[in-house]
Amino acid sequence: MISTDESNSNTTLEKSVFEGAPFQCKLSFYKCDQNLDASAPRTLVNNRTNLHKGDLFVISLTGEQKLVMQVDEERTDPSVKPEIRIDESIKTTFSVNSFATTYFTVEKVVAKEKFALYLVELQVKEQYLSRGDMWRFTRKLSNTTVYLKKSLEIFGMRTTVYGLWVDAAPYRVSSGYITKDTKIVFRSLSACCTIFLQMSKEMWDFDHHGDTYYEKAVDGFLFDLFTRWKVK
């Protein structure tokens, strides 16, 4: 049973994280150009919301599924109702049923550090990134929000968000806020590993079990190595 003091403390904590009361907002999806720079506006709000450029907010999508976003641009809209426009890829990633409802609960965040990410894992494919490129990429991502499977392009370098972690339970999350202390790891899907085997006459000799060293290399060492890589 939760005591009154505990309930009041939780309410106070909730108020310290968010500003004002939650409000219903129309959510529109549009096809965003994937070649846009990370600093280009992707999340747009109209002037009927209490959100402004740079503000963080949380959208309650489905049940317990929540998405942390940041306002990239505020636009004047003749509409009398608050509206937020976000990338269409989010609908697929988070299985949002926009046909059932177009209005979602939104909360404005004041304590950004509560949604800070501890670790961000980015996937790189078919391109080479030097340490300098990674450093510039990391600096550009500071003070921005990311979500799973989000495509990023900075200075012509393309990556995809693969994993997001925080330093407390539930540890792995689907979205969050990148700070200057967030660790960013780059994983290459195009990395190659070359294994050289010297084919000498000893490779055809038999060991005390009756197997040739060639068979032990191919069916033993290499098989165990590839199996271990698949497991990890």
Domain tally, the chain: 3
* φ, ψ at 144 (rounded to 5°): -130, 170
Shared domain for 44 and 88, answered yes or no, is: yes
Question: With pLDDT > 90 as the criterion, what percentage of the chain qualifies?
Answer: 41
Per-residue pLDDT, averaged over 101-129, amounts to 91
pLDDT for 3 equals 39
Shared domain for 51 and 149, answered yes or no, is: no
d(CA 230, CA 47): 51
* pLDDT over 70 (residue 164): yes
Long-range contacts of residues 227-231, Cβ cutoff 8 Å, at least 24 apart: none
Instruction: Name residue 73's amino acid.
Output: E
pLDDT for 4 equals 39
d(CA 163, CA 121): 5
| Alpha carbon distances (Å) from 158 to 35, 117, 154 | 9, 21, 7
Q: Are 27 and 84 in contact (CB under 8 A)?
A: yes
Shared domain for 120 and 104, answered yes or no, is: no
Shared domain for 60 and 81, answered yes or no, is: yes
Report if residue 194 sits inside a domain.
no
- Range in 34-38, 80-84, 135-139, 172-176 with the lowest mean pLDDT: 34-38
Instruction: Name residue 96's amino acid.
Output: V
Domain boundary among 93, 113, 133: 113
Shared domain for 131 and 163, answered yes or no, is: yes
CA angle 26, 31, 36 (to 5 degrees): 115
Per-residue pLDDT, averaged over 126-149, amounts to 92
Domain boundary among 66, 98, 113: 113
d(CA 154, CA 130): 14
d(CA 100, CA 92): 15
Report if residue 196 sits inside a domain.
no
Torsion of CA 67, 39, 45, 33, to 10 degrees: -90
Shared domain for 15 and 77, answered yes or no, is: yes
CA angle 230, 127, 175 (to 5 degrees): 70
Shared domain for 164 and 221, answered yes or no, is: no
Q: How many helices (H) and strands (E) does the chain have?
A: 5, 14
Q: What is the CA radius of gyration of the chain?
A: 25
Shared domain for 98 and 160, answered yes or no, is: no
User: Per-residue pLDDT tens for 165-176?
Assistant: 999 888 999 999
Shared domain for 66 and 129, answered yes or no, is: no
Parent domain of 33? 4-113
d(CA 168, CA 146): 18
Dihedral of alpha carbons 85, 86, 87, 92, sign: negative
